[in-house]
């Protein structure tokens, strides 16, 4: 029953070496249910308000994942306060992409072993679907490697979010249902209700957010251009960069992962970096690490 317990408590469980890299179907039933719930759009209908909420939650959570889970927690590309660190860890946890410690530990491991046999999600290793989502559905991937994140593991609030990673998404889902039910009574002109806001605002928005995010694992190591001769297969992909708020400039990132900016050229749109610059102007973050000037001068166009 360890798989059932891990629905609510993500503390590591020893699954044994034989099962470590096989998908634990019982453990991932909530992930499957997340996708199946999107079929609810056939019953709840749609409204402009529900679509607006879904789009807003996509954007806010994408920024939390790309700006904080990735550039801050994984790469320490800027500094911020403990309160702001926790706030965006909380928003990132709404994305159903596990806790910030788990995310950062696996991403640091990816950079150390990118596109080698030790890379957990290289498409060159076991193909597209494994790199896209199969890898993290295994017992081996469920655990957080705290040795990879000693700088983050000292914060008890982050450890809590990491251990009970289901709490925040469930709270978001419940909040959306309650908001929709309230608006149905107080603002019927919005033509929304609890089930509709739950399906569009949580399930559809979350599933789209997830699959767009993980294209950086599965597609940005296969399709695109290579400005820098990195030791991996990372690519720059303008379409993925737009969808992921700048993460698609992946070859740039693998060449110099410490920068808060991943679009190295002025024409490489990096929405996450623009958001971080705005936060820096407001004093919410600081010491954004720049792209070294020599990288821009010596790189291919």
Question: For residue 4, what pLDDT is reported?
Answer: 54
DSSP single-letter state for residue 291: P
Q: Per DSSP, what are the bridge partners of residue 80?
A: 285
Contacts (Cβ under 8 Å, ≥6 apart) of 273: 246, 260, 261, 262, 263
Nearest residue to 173 (alpha-carbon basis) of 198, 195, 192, 193: 198
Beta strands in 177-222 (DSSP E): none
DSSP H/E element including 82: helix 82-93
Q: Is residue 19 part of a domain?
A: no
The DSSP call for residue 79 is E
When computed from its CA atoms, the radius of gyration of the chain, rounded to whole angstroms, is: 19
Q: Per residue in 96-106, pLDDT tens?
A: 999 999 999 99
What pLDDT, on a 0 to 100 scale, did the predictor assign at position 257? 94
Contacts of 173 (CB under 8 A, 6+ apart): 198, 202, 203
Domain assignment present for residue 20? The answer is: no
Dig out the tokens for 163 from the structure. 């251990």
What confidence score (pLDDT) does residue 170 get? 96
pTM score of the predicted model: 0.93
3-state secondary structure at position 121:
coil
Beta strands in 31-156 (DSSP E): 79-80
Residue 93 in any domain: the answer is yes
Residue the block writes with tokens 């317990």: 5
Positive or negative CA dihedral for 81, 67, 255, 145?
A: positive
Residue at 186 is within a domain: yes
Please report whether residue 229 resides in a domain: yes
pLDDT of residue 20: 66
Paired with 236 in beta bridges are: 225, 249
Which residues of the chain are modeled with pLDDT < 70? 1-20, 295-301
The answer to whether the beta carbons of residues 263 and 241 sit under 8 Å apart is yes
**Domain that residue 260 falls in:** 36-298
7 in any annotated domain: no
Tokens at residue 93, please? 């946890």
For 229, left (φ over 0), alpha (ψ -120 to 50), or beta? beta
- End-to-end Cα distance, the chain: 54
Which helix (DSSP H) or strand (DSSP E) does residue 286 occupy? Answer: strand 285-286
Residue 292's CB: how many other CB atoms inside 10 A?
13
Q: How many residues does the chain have?
A: 301
Dump pLDDT digits (tens) for 217-244: 999 999 999 999 999 999 999 999 999 9
Q: Number of helices and strands (H, E) in the chain?
A: 18, 2
Predicted local distance difference test score (pLDDT) of residue 22: 79
Structure tokens at 24: 């634990």
| Residues 6 and 163: beta-carbon distance below 8 Å | no
Look at residue 228 in the predicted model and tell me its pLDDT. Answer: 92
Q: For the chain, what is the domain count?
A: 1
Structure confidence at residue 171 (pLDDT): 97
What's the confidence (pLDDT) of residue 272? 98
Please indicate, yes or no, if residue 10 is contained in any of the structural domains.
no
Residue 106 lies in a domain: yes
């Amino acid at each position: 029953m360890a798989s059932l317990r891990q629905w609510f408590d993500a503390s590591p469980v020893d699954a044994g070496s034989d099962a470590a890299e096989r998908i634990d179907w019982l453990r991932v039933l909530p992930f499957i249910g997340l996708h199946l719930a999107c079929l609810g759009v056939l019953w709840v209908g749609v409204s402009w308000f529900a679509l607006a909420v879904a789009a807003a939650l996509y954007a806010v959570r994408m920024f939390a994942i790309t700006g904080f889970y990735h550039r801050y927690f994984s790469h320490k590309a800027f500094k911020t306060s403990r309160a702001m660190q926790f706030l965006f860890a909380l928003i990132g946890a709404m994305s159903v992409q596990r806790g910030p410690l788990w995310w950062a530990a696996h991403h640091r491991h990816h950079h150390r072993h990118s596109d080698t046999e030790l890379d957990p999600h290289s498409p060159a290793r076991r193909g597209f679907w494994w790199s896209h989502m199969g890898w993290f559905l295994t017992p081996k991937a469920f655990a957080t490697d705290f040795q990879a994140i000693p700088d983050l593991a000292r914060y008890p609030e982050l450890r809590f979010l990491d251990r009970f990673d289901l709490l925040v998404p469930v709270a978001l889902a419940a909040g959306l249902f309650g908001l929709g039910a309230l608006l149905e009574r107080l603002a019927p002109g919005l033509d929304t209700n609890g089930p509709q806001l739950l399906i569009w605002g949580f399930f559809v928005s979350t599933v789209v957010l997830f699959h767009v995010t993980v294209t950086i694992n599965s597609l940005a190591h296969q399709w695109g251009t290579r400005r820098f001769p990195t030791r991996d297969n990372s690519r720059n992909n303008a379409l993925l960069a737009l969808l992921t708020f700048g993460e698609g400039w992946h070859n740039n990132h693998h060449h110099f992962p410490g920068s808060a900016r991943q679009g190295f050229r002025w024409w490489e749109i990096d929405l996450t970096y623009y958001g971080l610059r705005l936060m820096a102007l407001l004093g919410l973050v600081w010491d954004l690490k720049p792209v070294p000037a020599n990288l821009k001068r010596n790189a291919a166009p």
